[in-house]
Amino acid sequence: MTEQVEIAVVGAGPGGLCAALAAAQAGAQVALIDNNRHPGGQYYRQTAREFRGAPSSHQREGAALLQQAIAAGVRIIAETNVWGAFDDKVLALNDGAATTYLQARAIILATGAYDRPVAFPGWTLPGVMTAGAVQTLIKEQRILAGKRFLLAGTGPLQLVLAAELARAGAQVVAVLEGSRVFPRVLQHAGALWNQWERLSEGLSSWLTLARHRIPYRVGWGIVAAEGAAQVEQATIARLDGNWRPIRGSEEKIACDTIALGYGFVPFNTLSRLLGARQEWRPELGGEVPARDAQMQTSAPGVYAVGDCAGIGGAALARVEGQIAGSAAAAQVGHGTADAIPARASALARERRFQRMYAALFTPGVGLYELSQDDTILCRCEEITQAEVRHALALGADTTNEVKLITRGGMGDCQGRMCAHLIAHFIARETGRSVAQVGMLPPRPPIFPIPITALGVTR
Amino acid sequence: MSRIKDSPEFQRGAPVTIIVDGAPLPAFVGETIAGALLASGRRAWQHTRHGQPRGMFCGIGVCFDCLVTVNGASKVRACLTPVAEGMIVQTQETTP
């Protein structure tokens, strides 16, 4: 059976919470669906509710937004995956047992992003994880994923994570920043105006690093991870301006955990499934839906906000959420979309910051050239670069054709880990652009679900 | 691979025991299966078809590297699934 709702919001991070709140305040009937135990997404990641403790300022802000949304009448559907999206704005929901269907008059997607996977020799060894994995364990469960951490990646979030690790008593052997951020940051100093909260968080993390004497190596990157059953050491190297390792600069560094923080990939699967036209925008993280000023995609009544429509951080997600919530409410007959003019200056400020962030911290092409022929590109199906090369020799020249030949991208993660890696490899080998090579078309169910869950008909 | 110590500002949930491959593993309510395994020092609990060890990679339910069988249900993401008293977890080695 299919339930009806005026507005369905998918994802309860900063963007989704603000969108749901704005739409409900305008008078719309709103359902907010989230797949986590605790709404809040990655940015507002809450400590497990069974734990007792003092929440951080981010956690307090997230909890307050959630309370406001509930008070405004938003119906929260937690611990529920959206595994499919079909014509006439029907979403398929699964809570681990049963499937239900929800039909909305407008859908606001706020599905966020995930850490960018980077393939290099040894990246499938236990102990290599994303920075998000390490941070989530600390924030949610107060657990350290290792003892001696190497942080490799780009951007200020690495400093925040290193500081959190140091404060929790872990050893951080080094933080590698791939971008030659100094002195280029000075060219963008204007975008830092009115970003005092971000600057103060960055400064405080920086001071913690200095206090713990954690080396911060600018222009360095990971090249390989080595170990028998798990990570024992890493090979790192100086990078040139395109992020290619400089031959002869390699060093070995002992560690048991490597946290990869090379930015984020937008989770655009649902906007693609709903037919929204996509664009390839490396500076926004990859493939993202095109949108108008109301955050509406090319699919009428389907909006996308926050990182799932282009990496921009929590503050931008909040503004976009308010605009989309207000616009979607007006579309279904409530209010007048007044958030668009009201939030114009906040939107401009956050977009400036987004452009600065992209200019400084978008990885160079060298990051996609670390894999060797025996390196696995598709973790699920264990497809190596050599197998992808073989598929190209057979005539494949798109990511989808490589999938049909090799099964790369057909595993449980549905290509979310490997599509970018395979696409960049094909582009390099064939001399075509990543946009031409393309991403993988999504197929429902976009998450594995029990076969019994499909027994329920609409 | 450890739990950050409790402090006056912060305390874990109640202690519970889960059963992993037939052996008891102490955990605390509010932790995930992956959290409890990592805190006990275990980095890998899956083996691929080619025999490669895997554990947690993405930590937010995207990569599906951390799958376990929970109370008979297969392909459960250890990074998203909270522990519960008496929960029976089978890592891939023991899954038929």
A71: which residues sit within 8 A by CB, 6+ positions away?
none
Sequence-separated contacts (24+) of A333-342 with Cβ below 8 Å = A334/A6, A334/A23, A334/A26, A334/A27, A334/A28, A335/A26, A335/A27, A337/A294, A339/A22, A340/A293, A340/A294
C-beta atoms of A142 and B3 within 8 A? yes
- Give the Cα separation of B1 and A128 in Å (integer): 13
Check whether residue A105 and residue A124 sit in a common domain. no
Residue B96's pLDDT is 38
Residue A448's pLDDT is 85
- For A407, the domain range is 371-437
Give buried/exposed letters for B30-60 (b at 16+ CB in 10 A, else e): bbbbbbbbbbeebbbbbebeeebbbbbbbbb
Residue B45's pLDDT is 93
Q: How far does B50 lie from chain A, in Å, by closest CA?
A: 8
Residues of A in contact with B32 (CB under 8 A): 140-141
Check whether residue A277 and residue A257 sit in a common domain. no
Check whether residue A297 and residue A212 sit in a common domain. no
Q: Is residue A346 part of a domain?
A: no
Q: Is residue B1 part of a domain?
A: no
For residue A75, list its beta bridge partners: A31
Pairing of strands A216-218, A171-177: parallel
Check whether residue A122 and residue A257 sit in a common domain. yes
- CATH number of the domain where residue A213 is located: 3.50.50.60
- CATH number of the domain where residue A409 is located: 1.10.10.1100
- For B76, the domain range is 15-94
What is the end-to-end Cα distance of chain A in Å, rounded? 5
- CATH number of the domain where residue B79 is located: 3.10.20.440
Would you give the DSSP letter of residue A47? P
C-beta atoms of B30 and A141 within 8 A? yes
Residues of A in contact with B33 (CB under 8 A): none
Check whether residue A178 and residue A102 sit in a common domain. no
Residue B94 in this model has a pLDDT that exceeds 60: no
- Give the Cα separation of A309 and A297 in Å (integer): 9
What are the residue ranges in chain A where pLDDT is below 50?
Answer: none
Q: Is residue A448 part of a domain?
A: no
Q: How confident is the model at residue B93 (pLDDT cuts 50, 70, 90)?
A: low
Residue B95 in this model has a pLDDT that exceeds 60: no
B20: which residues sit within 8 A by CB, 6+ positions away?
B37, B89, B90, B91
Pairing of strands A257-261, A148-153: parallel
User: How many structural domains compose chain B?
Assistant: 1
Check whether residue A254 and residue A126 sit in a common domain. yes
Of B35, B63, B67, the CB nearest to A143: B35
Check whether residue A323 and residue A269 sit in a common domain. yes
Of A54, A114, A129, the CB nearest to B62: A114
C-beta atoms of B43 and A127 within 8 A? yes
Check whether residue A274 and residue A179 sit in a common domain. no
C-beta atoms of A411 and B48 within 8 A? no
User: How many structural domains compose chain A?
Assistant: 3
Check whether residue A145 and residue A253 sit in a common domain. yes
- Give the Cα separation of A110 and A104 in Å (integer): 15
C-beta atoms of B58 and A114 within 8 A? yes
Please state the rounded mean pLDDT for residues B51-59.
Answer: 94
Q: How far is residue A16 from each of residues A174, A203, A318, A412, measured CA to CA in Å?
A: 35, 29, 8, 26
Q: Which residue's structure tokens are 């991403």?
A: A439
Residue A313's pLDDT is 94
- Give the Cα separation of B69 and A322 in Å (integer): 41
Check whether residue A130 and residue A256 sit in a common domain. yes
